[in-house]
């Protein structure tokens, strides 16, 4: 299916990025990934996602690799990470994770994965590792390309865009900082915020969602499974109570229960679980 040139290209790309080679290369072969979804334990169907930059339909937007100044608009680290997590090697990945956000006719959102480290205790070999730095850089590249030349990089301008959540929405207060002494010098470090995006949760759009361009790194395009997405879109979910009096007061008074409650907005009442996933 892959010519040796394509493989060599993927290889040199992975090497030139200094990505963790074994895992990046293992994932570099696939052009698509699939997710088998169950609703309350009943098989509901499959999502098939073409990966960006892998010679698949995902590249057939106005954003062709040759027209862009930089290959990082095709998010090689983000794509390799997404493929690796879909493969669920050693149980590190999307199998048994949930679809826990459903905004009707707009977007479905996965819960992300709980662990990025394999059981051998070595530092994460998942492309991008346990920080979102590489993904953040690739998101920057997509944003820069699109602001210079709209449509020259992938973006959330259609149904079926698939992207990793990398940043918090604009307007999120900056993380708390504290001073620590390192080698006798005081430096400011940011307190990691609980629940901050870690580049594992992904979304599938059901319509253009341009506001996601600010936070999400596009890594692919939904090729098959539109009916499944439409069916998920119809599931009853807990509502967004941002406008409720309780929520407004809680939020205004800094009541932490407001933030806790917000995590449950759009959560389906049924259990929507990825029961199997992998590369194609």
Ligand X SMILES: *[C@@H]1O[C@H](CO)[C@@H](O)[C@H](O)[C@H]1NC(C)=O
* Interface contacts to ligand X, rule CB under 6 A: 111-116, 195, 198, 200-201, 240, 242-243, 262, 265
Cβ nearer to ligand X, comparing 64 with 242: 242
| Residue nearer to ligand X on the CB measure, 10 or 202 | 202
Q: What minimum distance in Å lies between the beta carbon of 95 and ligand X?
A: 14
User: In terms of CB distance, is 201 or 218 closer to ligand X?
Assistant: 201
Q: Where are the beta strands (DSSP E) in the chain?
A: 32-39, 42-51, 99-103, 107-110, 161-165, 177-182, 185-190, 202-205, 216-224, 272-279
Nearer to ligand X, 187 or 246 (CB): 246
Q: Find residue 164's DSSP bridge partners.
A: 202, 217
Angle at CA of residue 108, ends 197 and 195, nearest 5°:
20
Q: Tell the smallest beta-carbon distance from residue 112 to ligand X (Å).
A: 3
* Nearer of residues 60 and 131 to ligand X, judged by Cβ: 131
To ligand X, the closest distance from the beta carbon of 158 in angstroms equals: 20
Nearest to ligand X by Cβ — which residue? 112
CA distances to 118, 179, 218 from 115, rounded to whole Å, are 8, 28, 22
Minimum Å distance from CB 4 to ligand X?
A: 36
CB of 198 to ligand X, least distance (A): 4
| Minimum gap (Å) between residue 60 Cβ and ligand X | 30
CB of 28 to ligand X, least distance (A): 22
Q: Which is nearer to ligand X, 72 or 215 (CB)?
A: 215
The least CB distance from residue 265 to ligand X, in Å, is 4
With a CB cutoff of 8 Å and minimum separation 6, the contacts of 64 are none
- The closest alpha carbon to 219, from 78, 110, 106, 94, belongs to 78
Residue that the structure tokens 């920080």 belong to: 131
Distance (Å, whole) CA 249 – CA 100? 26
Chain position carrying tokens 């169907």: 45
As beta bridge partners, residue 185 has: 182
Q: Which two tokens stand for residue 230?
A: 């439409």
User: What whole-number distance in Å separates Cα of residue 168 and Cα of residue 34?
Assistant: 27
Phi, psi (deg, nearest 5) at residue 31: -105, -15
Contacts 24+ apart (CB under 8 A), 3-7: 6/55
Residue nearer to ligand X on the CB measure, 97 or 142: 97
For ligand X, the closer of residues 171 and 184 by Cβ is: 171
């Amino acid at each position: 299916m892959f010519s040796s040139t394509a493989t060599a290209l993927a290889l040199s790309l992975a090497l030139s990025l200094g990505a963790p080679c074994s895992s990046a290369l293992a994932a570099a072969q696939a052009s698509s990934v699939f997710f088998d979804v169950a609703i309350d334990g009943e098989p509901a169907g499959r999502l098939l996602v073409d990966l960006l930059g892998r010679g698949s339909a995902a590249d057939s937007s106005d954003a062709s690799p040759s027209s862009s100044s930089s290959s990082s608009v095709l998010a090689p680290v983000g794509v390799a990470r997404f493929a690796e997590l879909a493969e669920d090697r050693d149980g590190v990945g999307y199998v048994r994770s949930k679809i826990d956000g459903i905004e009707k006719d707009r977007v479905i959102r996965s819960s992300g994965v709980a662990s990025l480290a394999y059981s051998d205790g070595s530092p994460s070999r998942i492309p991008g590792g346990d920080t979102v730095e590489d993904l953040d850089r690739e998101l920057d590249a997509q944003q820069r390309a699109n602001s210079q030349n709209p449509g020259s990089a992938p973006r959330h301008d259609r149904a079926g865009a698939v992207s990793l959540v990398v940043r918090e929405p604009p307007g999120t207060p900056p993380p708390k900082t504290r001073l620590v002494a390192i080698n006798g010098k005081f430096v400011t470090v940011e307190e990691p915020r609980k629940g901050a995006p870690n580049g594992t949760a992904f979304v599938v759009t059901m319509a253009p969602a341009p506001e996601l361009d600010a936070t999400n790194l596009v890594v692919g395009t939904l090729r098959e499974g539109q009916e499944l997405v439409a069916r998920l879109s119809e599931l009853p979910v807990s509502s967004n109570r941002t406008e409720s009096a309780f929520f407004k007061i809680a939020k205004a008074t800094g009541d932490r229960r407001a933030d806790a409650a917000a995590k449950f907005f759009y959560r389906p009442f049924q259990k929507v679980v990825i029961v199997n996933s992998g590369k194609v």
